[in-house]
Amino acid sequence: MENKRNVQVSQEQIDEQKRILQNIAQINAQKGKQPKAFLVTYGCQQNNNDTERIRGMLFDAGYSFTENKADADFILYNTCAVRENAEMRVFGNLGALKILKRKKPALIIAVCGCMMQQEHIAKQIRQKYKHVDIIFGTHALYKFPSMLQAALDTNRTLMVSDVENSDGCIAEDLPIKREDGIKAWVSIMYGCNNFCSYCIVPYVRGRERSRKSDDIIKEITALTKAGYKEITLLGQNVNSYGKDLDSGIDFADLLRMVNDIEGIHRIRFMTSHPKDLSDKLIDAMASCKHVCPHLHLPIQSGSNDILKRMNRKYTREEYLQKIEKAKRSIPGLAVTTDIIVGFPNETDADFEDTLNVLKQVEYDTIFSFIYSKRNGTPAATMPDPITDEQKHERFARMIEVQNEISLKLNSAMVGSVQEVLVEGKSKTNPNILTGRTDTNKIVNFEGDAALEGTFVNVLITEAKTWSLNGEIVK
Judged by the rule CB under 6 A, the positions of this chain that interact with ligand F3S are 43-44, 46-47, 80-82, 114, 200-201, 204-205
Q: Which is nearer to ligand F3S, 236 or 406 (CB)?
A: 236
Q: Which of residues 73-92 bind ligand SAH (CB under 6 A)?
A: 82-83
Q: Answer whether 165's CB lies under 8 Å from 152's CB.
A: no
- Parallel, antiparallel, or unpaired: how do β-strands 467-473 and 455-463 relate? antiparallel
Angstrom distance (rounded) from CA 258 to CA 284: 11
Q: Which is nearer to ligand F3S, 8 or 47 (CB)?
A: 47
Q: Count other Cβ atoms within 10 Å, centred on residue 251.
A: 27
Q: Which is nearer to ligand SAH, 59 or 369 (CB)?
A: 369
Q: Answer whether 460's CB lies under 8 Å from 469's CB.
A: yes
Backbone angles phi, psi at 177, to 5 degrees: -130, 105
Kindly list the distances between the CA atom of residue 381 and the CA atoms of 34, 345, 384, 433, in Å, as whole numbers in the listed order.
50, 11, 9, 49
Largest CA distance in the chain: 68
Q: Which is nearer to ligand SAH, 57 or 357 (CB)?
A: 357
Angstrom distance (rounded) from CA 23 to CA 18: 9
Q: Using the rule CB under 6 A, which residue among 232, 237, 406, 444 binds ligand SAH?
A: 237
Cβ of residue 321: shortest distance to ligand SAH, in angstroms?
A: 19
Q: Could you tell me where the beta strands, DSSP code E, fall in 24-122? A: 36-41, 64-65, 74-79, 108-113
**DSSP code of 447?**
-
Q: Answer whether 254's CB lies under 8 Å from 235's CB.
A: no
Q: Using the rule CB under 6 A, which residue among 14, 199, 249, 254 binds ligand SAH?
A: 199
Q: Using the rule CB under 6 A, which residue among 236, 336, 354, 418 binds ligand SAH?
A: 236
Q: Using the rule CB under 6 A, which residue among 338, 362, 462, 471 binds ligand SAH?
A: 338
Q: Determine, following the binding rule CB under 6 A, whether residue 271 of this chain makes contact with ligand SAH.
A: yes
Number of residues located near ligand SF4, criterion CB under 6 A: 10
Q: Which is nearer to ligand SAH, 17 or 49 (CB)?
A: 49
3-class DSSP assignment, residue 112: strand
Cβ of residue 98: shortest distance to ligand F3S, in angstroms?
A: 25
Q: Which does 340 bind (CB under 5 to 8 A by kind): ligand F3S, ligand SAH, ligand SF4, none?
A: ligand SAH
Q: Count other Cβ atoms within 10 Å, centred on residue 387.
A: 10
Q: Which stretch binds ligand SF4 (CB under 6 A): 164-172, 189-197, 328-336, 443-451?
A: 189-197
Q: Which does 372 bind (CB under 5 to 8 A by kind): ligand SF4, ligand F3S, ligand SAH, none?
A: ligand SAH
Q: Of 268, 252, 179, which is closest to residue 220 (Cα–Cα)? A: 268
Contacts of residue 257, defined as CB under 8 A and 6 or more positions apart, other chains included, come to 213, 217, 249
Angstrom distance (rounded) from CA 399 to CA 445: 27
Q: Determine, following the binding rule CB under 6 A, whether residue 192 of this chain makes contact with ligand SF4.
A: yes
Q: Determine, following the binding rule CB under 6 A, whether residue 201 of this chain makes contact with ligand SF4.
A: yes
Q: Determine, following the binding rule CB under 6 A, whether residue 209 of this chain makes contact with ligand SF4.
A: no
Q: Determine, following the binding rule CB under 6 A, whether residue 237 of this chain makes contact with ligand SF4.
A: yes
- Bond into 271 cis (ω within 30): yes
Instruction: Considering only CA atoms, give the Rg of the chain.
Output: 23
Q: Which does 191 bind (CB under 5 to 8 A by kind): ligand SAH, ligand F3S, ligand SF4, none?
A: none
Q: Which does 202 bind (CB under 5 to 8 A by kind): ligand SAH, ligand SF4, ligand F3S, none?
A: ligand SF4
Q: Which does 240 bind (CB under 5 to 8 A by kind): ligand SF4, ligand SAH, ligand F3S, none?
A: none
Q: Determine, following the binding rule CB under 6 A, whether residue 367 of this chain makes contact with ligand SF4.
A: no
Q: Determine, following the binding rule CB under 6 A, whether residue 309 of this chain makes contact with ligand SAH.
A: no
Q: Of 323, 319, 399, which is closest to residue 367 (Cα–Cα)? A: 399
Angstrom distance (rounded) from CA 128 to CA 91: 10
Q: Count other Cβ atoms within 10 Å, centred on residue 126.
A: 14
Q: Tell me, residue by residue from 353 to 382, as one string, x for binding to ligand SAH by CB under 6 A and - for no binding.
A: ----------------x-xx-x--------
DSSP 393-424: HHHHHHHHHHHHHHHHHHHTTTT-EEEEEEEE
Helix 388-411 / helix 348-361 crossing angle, nearest 10 deg: 10
Q: Determine, following the binding rule CB under 6 A, whether residue 51 of this chain makes contact with ligand SF4.
A: no
Cβ of residue 172: shortest distance to ligand SAH, in angstroms?
A: 22
Cβ of residue 226: shortest distance to ligand SAH, in angstroms?
A: 28
Q: Which stretch binds ligand SAH (CB under 6 A): 8-16, 60-68, 110-118, 197-205?
A: 197-205
Q: Answer whether 151's CB lies under 8 Å from 140's CB.
A: no
Q: Which does 420 bind (CB under 5 to 8 A by kind): ligand SF4, ligand SAH, ligand F3S, none?
A: none
Cα 269 to its chain centre, rounded Å, is: 11
Q: Kindly list the residues in this chain that would bind ligand SF4 in the complex (CB under 6 A).
A: 192, 194-196, 199, 201-202, 236-237, 273
Q: Kindly list the residues in this chain that would bind ligand SAH in the complex (CB under 6 A).
A: 82-83, 192, 198-199, 201, 236-237, 271, 273, 298, 300, 338, 340, 369, 371-372, 374
